[in-house]
Amino acid sequence: MKTKSELTKEMDCQPEECLAALLPVRDALEVLSGRWKLPILIALSNRPKRFKEISKDINGITDKMLSKELKDLEINKLVIRTVYDTFPPTVEYARTEHSHTLYKVISALNEWGTLHRKEIIGK
């Protein structure tokens, strides 16, 4: 059994502070939520790509979802869309600087997800 102060340390907040943290945490979860956001960011990790390239790189995504998710990512400034005035039109998507600040979150999620898998399945 842990003491209350140990628990508090682990949660890093009293309930009131936890509630205050709820908003940013939910923001972060929402930005990464859904089946396609992370695959898209990964697809763009190496270099900028065009719509069809991304579409080919990600198994199972429809044009509609790719379009929608790219818009979401653009709104959240995780991806930048550049239109080149060529014929036929060329559109390029790239990760932003801001998207790279996700590193710590994804890393933490990866670590915990791995730990959790062991806890639930293997152990």
Is residue 91 classed as helix, strand or coil in its secondary structure? strand
Q: Which of 62, 67, 90, 107 binds a second copy (CB under 8 A)?
A: 107
**Given the rule CB under 7 A, which residues bind DNA?**
34-35, 50-53, 60-65, 67-68, 70-71, 81, 88-93
Compute the least distance from the CB of residue 21 to DNA, in Å. 20
**Among 49, 61, 92, 117, which residue interacts with a second copy (rule: CB under 8 A)?**
117
Residue 27 site contact among DNA, a second copy, none (CB < 5 to 8 Å, cut-off depends on kind): a second copy
Helices (H), the chain: 4-11, 15-32, 37-43, 51-57, 63-75, 97-100, 103-120
Nearest-angstrom CA–CA distance, 64 and 86: 23
Question: Using CA atoms, how far apart are residues 42 and 45, in angstroms rounded to an integer?
Answer: 5
The nearer residue to DNA, 8 or 74, going by C-beta atoms, is 74
How would you classify the pairing of strands 49-50 and 90-95?
antiparallel
Contacts of residue 95, Cβ cutoff 8 Å, sequence gap at least 6: 41, 44, 45, 48, 78, 79, 80
Give the footprint of a second copy on residues 10-39 (CB under 8 A). Answer: 10-12, 15, 18-19, 21-29, 31-33, 38-39
Residues that bind a second copy (CB under 8 A): 2, 4, 7-8, 10-12, 15, 18-19, 21-29, 31-33, 38-39, 42-43, 45-46, 76-77, 97-98, 100-117, 119-120
